[in-house]
Chains A and B, each alone.
Chain A
């Protein structure tokens, strides 16, 4: 009992973290049909900026309550700035290009931003542990849990809900879905697709950054810590179905729980299992478990 509860909770925490990051990735793919490797940069920059902000707050002994707004703001800031730059100056020039070229371009962008981090923030690791420390821990089924990590689950649920609401209940969301469904038609219907793209990309970027920013307090923010995450979130997105939001949710749950179980039972399979599932899903359901609807083209 305790064992399964633990595995579940570990998995859930990890899944929440994956979900926030891969949600941005999947939305960007769904709308723009772009597989954005540079998503890792959003994550890393979000983390660094948040770490930086937290540093400022603690150094000046500002009230600890500021931590959370600071985290949120740095995510938004990073998302808007990086998102806009990349969309405006790289991707917009490539929309009609071959999809593989675009992936490669984002790979290039990723490499560049990796090093820009070192130039901007230096190589010393940042340890913005204060928020996590502030919340302390609670005992769940006889096991201490960092409260901060648990709030990650909360954040993920909030993001998931607002995302669902935004897409299904608001005008903007409907707009977005029509673009996802068929770009040409929507353009013909007079939707300003370029505008939709910018907003989407920035939105996705903010989510990526938020993932990083929120995880920052639980880890040592050091150069190159986004590399593994990029491909991991790819796995999540592919498993769930590229461009599908419920897919991202299910995908991250599957990956999170599987990994948790592997670490507890057979640590050696930890990495293997995730990608094995990715491959299997692609083989039996190439479109992913939750493939978004596709416009039929004759």
Chain B
């Protein structure tokens, strides 16, 4: 599966980008930016997951379900089993979301277009309904999460950031491996012509199911890392419908061109949020909404299309 993956241009660029990001953020940029990078990279994983679905023309308006599920998995494992190890946290978040995705996948893989979007929304809101009302799950307060450890040692923000970057690299590289595989191409083919795929001898639903679980895992992992780096989870900022909307927004903003796109997009979003909030605390939503419309109208290809224009890079390597 991974044979010669490091010869892949996208992968090389990704790795160089991530490493240089670690470098400049620890030596050149002010510390606070590290937070934005951390959140950006974590959320980027969820965006990557949505990007995969988007390539099969499936848009989930309920991906906060897995995002929040991963986050709460981390929170609950700390509350009941005192687990704070970052590796465990990440694994648990991914696994939890993956399992949930696997089961819901049996239903969702039959759905397309707006029905897919609506059903995912419904599922996520079911979880929201539970979390917001159930006192033992912290209801709308959510729960606070203590700093992560690694093999029992306290992790500084610095190292947490490095670890997150590491997780992100691993995830993104495996996704690239998936995308260049037959299965990966198949899912883009499905968007093009389902009947043909069936007659080529592969089950469309199975292919979509696999992809769905992958994207659930990514979203879960994102939620887990987000919880770990923020130190807090709550339903309104993790599971509610507008969180899902936000995720889809970033996906469109990033563009589906390349595995690096989601992370750049998510990081940019973090900075937009930070500054919108600092400069116009009463109009930050409008700023976000404005950006959204601008992207849709003037840069339908998302940020990545701009990057391609600037560096005229990635055109041939692009899977689409």
Nearest-Cβ distance from residue A188 to partner chain B, whole angstroms:
24
Nearest-Cβ distance from residue A114 to partner chain B, whole angstroms:
5
Given A104-B249, A275-B126, A270-B293 contact (CB < 8 Å):
no
Cβ proximity bits A269-285 to B, threshold 8 Å, 1 near / 0 not: 11111111011001100
Contact assessment for B133 and A271 in the assembled complex, using a CB-CB cutoff below 8 Å: yes
Residue A234 CB within 8 A of the other chain: yes
Within 8 A of A (CB), among B285-315: 285-286, 288-290, 292-293, 296-297, 300
Please give, as numbers and ranges, the residues of chain B lying within 8 Å of A107 by CB-CB distance: 242, 245, 249, 289, 292
Contact assessment for A275 and B285 in the assembled complex, using a CB-CB cutoff below 8 Å: no
Residue A296 CB within 8 A of the other chain: no
Please give, as numbers and ranges, the residues of chain B lying within 8 Å of A282 by CB-CB distance: 111, 115, 118-119, 122
Residue A116 CB within 8 A of the other chain: yes
Residue B129 CB within 8 A of the other chain: yes
Residue B123 CB within 8 A of the other chain: yes
Residue A260 CB within 8 A of the other chain: no
The size class of the interface chain A forms with chain B is 35 or more
Task: For B253, give the chain A residue with the smallest CB separation.
Answer: A104
Cβ proximity bits B98-141 to A, threshold 8 Å, 1 near / 0 not: 00000000010001011101110111011011101110000000
In the complex, A8→B130 CA distance in Å? 24
Please give, as numbers and ranges, the residues of chain A lying within 8 Å of B133 by CB-CB distance: 267-272
Given A274-B129, A282-B119, A111-B252 contact (CB < 8 Å):
no
Please give, as numbers and ranges, the residues of chain B lying within 8 Å of A100 by CB-CB distance: 59, 114, 117, 248
Nearest-Cβ distance from residue A58 to partner chain B, whole angstroms:
28
Contact assessment for B290 and A235 in the assembled complex, using a CB-CB cutoff below 8 Å: no
Residue A67 CB within 8 A of the other chain: no
Given A112-B286, A115-B286, A275-B125, A90-B118 contact (CB < 8 Å):
no
Contact assessment for B107 and A283 in the assembled complex, using a CB-CB cutoff below 8 Å: yes
In the complex, A104→B288 CA distance in Å? 12
Please give, as numbers and ranges, the residues of chain A lying within 8 Å of B286 by CB-CB distance: 111-112, 114-116
Contact assessment for B111 and A286 in the assembled complex, using a CB-CB cutoff below 8 Å: yes
Nearest-Cβ distance from residue A225 to partner chain B, whole angstroms:
14
Please give, as numbers and ranges, the residues of chain A lying within 8 Å of B132 by CB-CB distance: 271
Please give, as numbers and ranges, the residues of chain A lying within 8 Å of B292 by CB-CB distance: 104-105, 107-108, 111
Given A111-B288, A115-B286, A283-B107, A101-B296 contact (CB < 8 Å):
yes
Please give, as numbers and ranges, the residues of chain B lying within 8 Å of A108 by CB-CB distance: 249, 288-290, 292-293, 296
Please give, as numbers and ranges, the residues of chain A lying within 8 Å of B167 by CB-CB distance: none
In the complex, A283→B123 CA distance in Å? 11
The size class of the interface chain B forms with chain A is 35 or more
Task: For B134, give the chain A residue with the smallest CB separation.
Answer: A268
Contact assessment for B252 and A118 in the assembled complex, using a CB-CB cutoff below 8 Å: no
In the complex, A238→B61 CA distance in Å? 14
Given A103-B61, A109-B289, A271-B132, A278-B122 contact (CB < 8 Å):
yes
Residue B150 CB within 8 A of the other chain: no
Interface centre among B57, B296, B300 (most CB of A within 10 A): B296
Residue B170 CB within 8 A of the other chain: no
Residue A216 CB within 8 A of the other chain: no
Residue A80 CB within 8 A of the other chain: no
Given A100-B59, A119-B283, A268-B133, A231-B241 contact (CB < 8 Å):
yes
Residue A93 CB within 8 A of the other chain: yes
Please give, as numbers and ranges, the residues of chain B lying within 8 Å of A268 by CB-CB distance: 133-134
Residue A54 CB within 8 A of the other chain: no
Residue B282 CB within 8 A of the other chain: yes
Task: For B115, give the chain A residue with the smallest CB separation.
Answer: A286
In the complex, A99→B284 CA distance in Å? 26
In the complex, A58→B35 CA distance in Å? 51
Task: For A267, give the chain B residue with the smallest CB separation.
Answer: B133
Contact assessment for A272 and B248 in the assembled complex, using a CB-CB cutoff below 8 Å: no
Residue A213 CB within 8 A of the other chain: no
Nearest-Cβ distance from residue A244 to partner chain B, whole angstroms:
14
Contact assessment for A272 and B293 in the assembled complex, using a CB-CB cutoff below 8 Å: no
Please give, as numbers and ranges, the residues of chain B lying within 8 Å of A99 by CB-CB distance: 113-114
Contact assessment for A279 and B119 in the assembled complex, using a CB-CB cutoff below 8 Å: yes
Interface centre among B130, B245, B248 (most CB of A within 10 A): B245
Contact assessment for B121 and A231 in the assembled complex, using a CB-CB cutoff below 8 Å: yes
Within 8 A of B (CB), among A89-136: 90, 93-94, 98-101, 103-105, 107-112, 114-116, 118-119, 123
Nearest-Cβ distance from residue B298 to partner chain A, whole angstroms:
11
Given A238-B118, A271-B133, A114-B248 contact (CB < 8 Å):
no
In the complex, A267→B59 CA distance in Å? 33
In the complex, A138→B118 CA distance in Å? 41
Q: List 25 A-B contacts (CB under 8 A).
A: A35-B114, A99-B113, A104-B248, A107-B249, A108-B249, A112-B286, A112-B289, A112-B290, A115-B284, A115-B285, A116-B286, A118-B283, A119-B282, A119-B283, A231-B241, A234-B118, A267-B133, A269-B129, A270-B129, A271-B133, A272-B133, A274-B125, A274-B129, A279-B122, A282-B122
Q: Which residues of B contact A (CB under 8 A)?
A: 57, 59, 61, 107, 111, 113-115, 117-119, 121-123, 125-126, 128-130, 132-134, 241-242, 245, 248-249, 252, 282-286, 288-290, 292-293, 296-297, 300
- 8 additional A-B residue pairs with CB within 8 Å, beyond A108-B292, A111-B292, A272-B130: A101-B252, A103-B117, A108-B289, A109-B293, A231-B125, A274-B125, A275-B128, A275-B129
